[in-house]
Copies of this chain bind each other. A is one copy, B any other.
């Protein structure tokens, strides 16, 4: 345990209140006692007990963010960006991972509340009325990083459906007439719809339908092998992968069989990762701007923490990044 205000008061021969006035630099206090207290405080390495402060104030100047994991680059980028944004506003960011465990996600939210975080950012894997009710009843503001999950509350994200559509149109414009949507993650382990990926698929189907081109959906776990098999048709297909890692796996599998991008097939992915920028050929992709999502989410949450503003819906633009893989 470190030095406390009480100890400082005793040592300086003054009352708690006086110590506080010195520490906070406000209220009527003589320069003399003030500097004495400040000096002693420094001497004894006084550090305020933030827990006690939080108990009194009900606030903590901490914002919480829960994400599934930090495996791929998407969430790390978001989290990093949120941290930077809220730090600049005087908040600390408490980052937690739930490892794709729904109970864990709920537990973390409860823990956040129990620890008096001032607000929560989340991209929930929990679905359903019960969960929505739980979120609605939170005593602190929260921002959802998805436009389609908890539909009515404040949220920020890209329009996944539009992105799916735009990506598909881009592939079609490149001359591809046989499209495949690669998404082993359309459903989570509890067979519940993964809305983000589903919206992308919806956009894909819409664009493909509009253009009247053939399309298939590869939603199995063995999508890479399936992609290899699919090549036997020799119809120069194009794969739209709902995640950069999927694209990477597909390309690797096809390369192993001697198929070459552009020459034999086209491929494009969601998520634009730094790691791929030096790939050869460079992957065409939808950049979903994680840094911007993080920044907007952070800004929105801080704003909500300060004023009791209500719902706001921030649509972050996506961007088609041309590559050499189509």
For residues 95 through 145 of chain A, which have their beta carbon under 8 Å from a beta carbon of chain B? Answer: 95-97, 99, 104, 108, 110-111, 113-116, 137, 139
> How large, as a class, is the contact surface on chain A?
35 or more
Chain B residues within 8 Å of A87, by CB: 99, 104
Q: Mark A56-89, 1 if CB is under 8 A from B, else 0.
A: 0010101000000111010011011001100100
For residues 138 through 166 of chain A, which have their beta carbon under 8 Å from a beta carbon of chain B? Answer: 139
In the complex, the answer to whether A80 meets B69 with C-beta atoms within 8 Å is yes
In the complex, the answer to whether B275 meets A251 with C-beta atoms within 8 Å is no
- Cβ of A2 within 8 Å of any chain B Cβ, yes or no, is yes
| Docked complex Cα distance between A70 and B52 (Å) | 31
Instruction: Name the residue on B nearest A45 (C-beta).
Output: B137
Q: A312: shortest Cβ distance to chain B, in Å?
A: 25
- Cβ of A186 within 8 Å of any chain B Cβ, yes or no, is no
Contacting chain B: which of A276-284, A300-308, A314-322? A276-284
| Docked complex Cα distance between A17 and B96 (Å) | 33
- Cβ of A48 within 8 Å of any chain B Cβ, yes or no, is yes
- Cβ of A92 within 8 Å of any chain B Cβ, yes or no, is yes
Q: A263: shortest Cβ distance to chain B, in Å?
A: 15
Chain B residues within 8 Å of A60, by CB: 51
| Docked complex Cα distance between A248 and B274 (Å) | 10
Q: Mark A269-293, 1 if CB is under 8 A from B, else 0.
A: 0000111111110000000000000
Residue contacts A-B, CB under 8 angstroms, 7 given: A1-B139, A51-B51, A70-B70, A94-B95, A248-B278, A252-B280, A280-B280
